[in-house]
A = this chain, B = another copy of it.
Amino acid sequence: MSSSLLPGVTGMRRQVPPATGQLRLGTLLREVHRDGAVSRTELADRMGVNRSTILTLIAKLAATGLVREETSATTGRAGRPSLVVRPATGQVYVLAFDVAVDRLVAARVGLGGTVLERRETARRRGQDDLDEVVTALAEFGGALVAAAPPGAKCVGVGASYCGLIGAADGKVRLEPTIGWTDVDFGPALGRRLGLGLPVAVGNEAHLGALAEHERGAGVGSRNLVYLHGDVGVGGGIIVGGRLLDGDDGYAAELGHMIVNPYGGRPCNCGSRGCLEAEVGESALLEAAGRTGGPIGREGVRAVVEAAENGDAAARAALDRVGDWLGIGVTNLINLFNPGVVVFGGMLSEIYRGSAAQVSARVNAGVLPVSRERVALRTAALGYDSTLAGAAELGFAALLTDPLGTTRADQDPTVPAALPE
């Protein structure tokens, strides 16, 4: 299921109807999961079904413990108290993991997307191996499950990984900084967790894009470009509401768009002048003359703050990096005609410090028809967009088939807390 869920990074939006009833239950649960509290009437309207059908669907989901009905604080039409449907945030959760270059994060995320508890540790760059990463995450996971309230049920596990992920098999294909190839990370973590649940794995920038589209800076946009800075530069692109995956799941590698082919900086990929080489962490720190100091987000933030405080070298470094970032963004807007471009991870800080340069390039190079449309924003979910995307991956199976996933016999390690 790890591999079937991985095309599921897109697949979770491709509704292959198992049956009309199940499909409707999934649709209803997705609405409530995404929006929090939704009234009966609103749900019926959105789904185009009548009142009696919506009541039946709500009753089925409520019986499994997935949603509950409550009187809303606000009153409905004609002054009567309005009934809203809410996700069972505390009772139904997933484990979400984020393997970034320099940190490991694990969280228990409730239905509805609320982070209920999280744990984080630094990851030593270039020193970790699969076993070390999996051990650390599995320990976090075990502790999170143990700390869950009695009766709460874990319905899925999703992980964001800072590497290429094959759509067909879910394997991590490459991790340039430390040289792994073809690592079976998902199954290894699944075994170590021992929850009897598969681990769905997605590329960090793809998941960041999904999360920002679903719950962040890109809600309501059909076409979104997400740029993610995490030492390197990755991308996730939403096209017509769906994640751009490509033939094998490797699409949106915008960090390896060549913007400076002659005289550009060498890139980890072996090429030269890639966007990642020109705007990544090391490009900024070197341009600012800060190669021996703090690295990662602390290092990047320090440059942005120094520039704000008048440091000329920091300002010049951000101007340079912002110019290249603007060129990359210009190209992406001309290619995707998106409603929004979102800067996530460290690029969120870099964009804050160089928005003028980015805008100047966009104004000069984007065709007017696309320029008029697009908004440039930082990630609304901050550094947690990737973690939030991993949680969505974990919820995918439940949202496709709400009753199937909550059947107690699926998970031998967790007692049947939810009635069928």
Contact = CB atoms under 8 A, between A and B. Distances in A.
Contact of A335 (B252, B261, B368): B252
Interface stretch (A36-44, A134-142, A239-247, A287-295): A239-247
Contacts of A249: 337
A245 B369 CA distance: 13
B247 A339 contact: yes
Contact of A334 (B173, B240, B254, B261): B254
Interface string A213-244: 00000000111000000000001010110101
A156 to B, nearest CB: 24
Contacts of A334: 253-254, 256-257
The secondary structure that dominates the A interface is: loop
A244 B336 contact: yes
A271 B364 contact: yes
A237 B369 CA distance: 18
A373 interface: yes
A251 interface: yes
A269 interface: yes
A369 B248 contact: yes
Most buried by B among A222, A223, A367: A367
A169 to B, nearest CB: 12
Interface string A260-274: 111000000111001
Given A239-B239, A242-B240, A331-B257, A369 B250 contact: yes
A335 B259 contact: no
B335 A257 contact: yes
A174 interface: yes
B251 A335 contact: yes
Interface in A259-310: 259-262, 269-271, 274
Contact of A246 (B166, B262, B327, B338): B338
A107 interface: no
Contact of A269 (B235, B254, B367): B367
A394 B340 CA distance: 32
A367 B253 contact: yes
A253 B327 contact: no
Copies of this protein chain in the complex: 2
Nearest to A257: B331
A366 B252 CA distance: 12
Interface in A327-378: 327, 330-331, 334-339, 364-370, 373
A251 B245 CA distance: 17
A174 to B, nearest CB: 7
B367 A256 contact: yes
A193 interface: no
A245 B373 CA distance: 13
A54 interface: no
A333 to B, nearest CB: 9
Contacts of A337: 245-251, 253
A66 B244 CA distance: 37
A190 to B, nearest CB: 23
Contacts of A164: 367, 369
A414 interface: no
A308 B251 CA distance: 36
Contacts of A221: 247
Given A166-B369, A257-B334, 13 more contacts: A223-B247, A240-B245, A245-B337, A246-B336, A246-B338, A253-B367, A254-B334, A257-B335, A259-B259, A259-B261, A260-B262, A269-B365, A331-B331
10 contacts: A223-B247, A237-B335, A245-B337, A246-B338, A248-B373, A251-B336, A253-B370, A257-B335, A271-B330, A274-B365
